[in-house]
Amino acid sequence: MNFSELANLFSYPFIMRAIIVGVLVSLCASLLGVILVLNRYSLIGHGLSDVGFASLSLAMAVGVSPLLMATPIVIITSFIIMYVSQSKKINGDVAIGIFSTGALAVGIIITALTKGFNTDVYSYMFGSILSMNITDVALSVVLSVVILSVFIIFYNRLFVVTADESFAKASGINVKFYQFLISFLTAITVVLGMRMMGTLLISSLIIFPAVTAKKIVRSFKGLMILSAVISVICFVIGILISFVLNIPTGAGIVAVNIVSMIIVSMVGQVREAIGIKV
């Protein structure tokens, strides 16, 4: 595929819809990723994605909309994981691991007993943003706008809760409410990203941009801005690469994120070696 053929792709409405949804999901994932990475809770994205796979398997088995089925199930599971983690009876990582492996096993069993691993299941596992229908796109846009709006409205309190939980409690902030709010927003973001990235890769959209940005800047606001920029750029480059090489969208985006993280890490090491401070 040459440059002119690649440029012509953007004349198709379904590709523009895919890019719009992809950019919105990338923004949501990158912003939440900063909070989750700083709180050392980034693996929740991986756990919820496996729950999403089980939900999608069930949805296809009974013949209902995958997004409509997955959204409430993933949200409820995220609340359960947060509640179990806060109870101190089970470590957060252990709780995520239990739900993750359990849900993955359930999803595989449902798939094996019904339609098997067909094209639809494959697209949800590895990503196929161009297969989104009008309903998926409309729901994705609405939910993305809700996530970004809530994030902007509660930005200051989310910052305090993330930066210093003890200070937040002393200031009268309901820390548990905002922790569950973060869990809720993460669950919705995972559901939205499953169509684009696939259930096996959506957690990377949450983790990589935040980790890469953290190697460059230290301030919370700086992390938010840079993580969002990196996420959107990697998405655009990744989706173009997926067109050119005819590979799953999610894999292309993850590959670009990995390369960007490696480049930033190498530049940081060279900078430290020659004594340059930023």
Determine, yes or no, domain membership for 88: yes
Percent pLDDT > 90 in the chain is 8
Name the band, by pLDDT with cuts 50, 70 and 90, for residue 160: confident
In a domain, residue 17? The reply is yes
Kindly state whether residue 151 falls inside one of the protein's structural domains. Answer: yes
How many structural domains is the chain composed of? 1
Look at 8-12, 19-23, 219-223 and tell me which has the smallest mean pLDDT: 8-12
39 domain-assigned: yes
The answer to whether 61 touches 115, Cβ cutoff 8 Å, is yes
pLDDT at 176: 86
149-159 pLDDT per residue, tens: 888 888 888 88
For residue 278, is it within any domain? no
| 213 in any annotated domain | yes
Is 199's pLDDT higher than 80? no
Cα–chain-centroid distance for residue 155?
A: 19
pLDDT value of position 258: 92
- What pLDDT shows up at residue 128? 66
CATH code of the domain containing 207: 1.10.3470.10
Does the residue 60 lie in any domain? yes
| Contact assessment for residue 25 and residue 205, using Cβ atoms and an 8 Å cutoff | yes
Instruction: State whether the Cα torsion 24-25-28-31 is positive or negative.
Output: negative
Range of the domain at 70: 3-273
Say if residue 121's pLDDT is above 90: no
Mean pLDDT of the region 218-236 = 90
